[in-house]
Amino acid sequence: MIDLTNPAPQRKPDWLKVTLAHGENYERLKRDVKKLDLHTVCQEAMCPNIGECWGAGTATIMILGDTCTRGCRFCNVKTGSPRGEVDWLEPKRVAEAVRDLGWQYLVLTAVDRDDLADGGAAIFASTVRVIHKLSPQAKVECLTGDFAGDRAALDVVLDAGPEVLAHNLETVQRLQSAVRDRRANFTQSLAVLEHAKRSGKVRFIKTSLMLGLGESETEVAQTMDAARAVGVDIFTMGQYLRPTQRHLEVVEFVTPAKFARLREIGLAKGFRQVVSSPLSRSSYHAEQAFDPA
């Protein structure tokens, strides 16, 4: 367990200070997204890479509303019960945004929806299909939850043909119960990744870790080994930042040098792509996985 009585570092180091996104193109895209009634994780999570990613034609859209049925201790998304509500027009709006805004790579994610029998899989699948219909050149990455271990629900998403299936382990095995909701666990998440890989229906499988929660470098390397063992192709790592005083404290601000060292360790283990830096998020440089090796 994480020792919450141990005072964590409060001042962000210089390497976490970034210039806020600005410029005419960024402001235009922000206005367009607002008009289309879409939730972008880029904006809602105040991602430091928003200007760079939007400029490269990449974005992350959150579907299925803004209320999560789980309560992970690192996440600032509202927790509650959406009571089965689903906006079936959302796939069309998202696909039209991809077409109209010229996005070439879309990361499609969602809150956990344990209130739905399929965990929201049908909306994921519908959105992927409409995007591919309206923008055949666009690639889609589905960053899903674990669907409570329901492989049939995961198959619904896989059958829609996203180019990448991502599901985040979030932290090392020892810290799972302290960081994630009790309904999530390391073994279940590995099973999601393994099933997606064995399906042969997507090109790449991906997962991500937050660092700075008290994990050791050895534990990170062991997590890489577990991910490679089930066929993960892309592994990303970034610094955990505390959203509010109600959330887990930061135990360590991991240095850029350590992130760089972990990237080399990951590449040596055989991942196709390892994205590792303090400001990296799970969708950062996602499109580069398709660059020629």
Q: Which residue has the tokens 């077409």?
A: 99
Q: Which domains does the chain have, with CATH numbers?
A: 22-286 (3.20.20.70)
* Residue 243: pLDDT band with limits 50, 70, 90: confident
Give residues with Cβ within 8 angstroms of 219, minimum separation 6: 172, 173, 174
- 261 or 49: which leads in pLDDT: 261
Mean pLDDT of 52-79: 81
Write the single-letter amino acid at 241: L
pTM of the model: 0.89
Q: What is the pLDDT of residue 45?
A: 46
Cross-strand bridge partners of residue 78: 67
**161-204 pLDDT tens trace:** 999 999 999 999 999 999 999 999 999 999 999 999 999 999 99
Is the pLDDT confidence value at 284 over 70?
Answer: no
Cross-strand bridge partners of residue 164: 141, 204
| Mean pLDDT, the chain, integer | 87
* Residue 94: pLDDT band with limits 50, 70, 90: very high
The kind and range of the H/E element at 235 are strand 234-239
CB 128 within 8 A of CB 160: yes
Q: What is the pLDDT of residue 34?
A: 66
Mean pLDDT of 125-152: 97
